[in-house]
Amino acid sequence: IVNMIVQQDVLDPPEDCFRMRMIIVLLETCGHFFDRGSSKRRLDRFMIYFQRYLLSKGLIPLDVEFDLQVYMPSKFTCFDCKS
């Protein structure tokens, strides 16, 4: 298990934010095509895993955090607070 954790850190270091930025750009570009039916359910499920990934990264740079705060809640219901 330790070997897998070390290997994961090598492939995706905690300070690397390339994947986060790439997903944000993809969602800004083509996320509006996933607005109904089974594709919306798939995107909602993906957004849950993306949120889990974001939480596992630790500190997020301010520019990425800003994009997340501005774009994500306005487009996707799984990021809305329902309390």
Which DSSP string do the residues of 3-69 spell out, in sequence order? HHHHHHHHHS-TT--HHHHHHHHHHHHHGGG--SHHHHHHHHHHHHHHHHHHHHH-S--HHHHHHHH
- 35 or 72: which carries more pLDDT confidence? 35
Report pLDDT for 81.
Answer: 42
Distance in angstroms (rounded) separating the CA atoms of residues 47 and 54: 10
pTM: 0.72
Going 67 to 22 to 73 to 35, the CA torsion angle's sign is positive
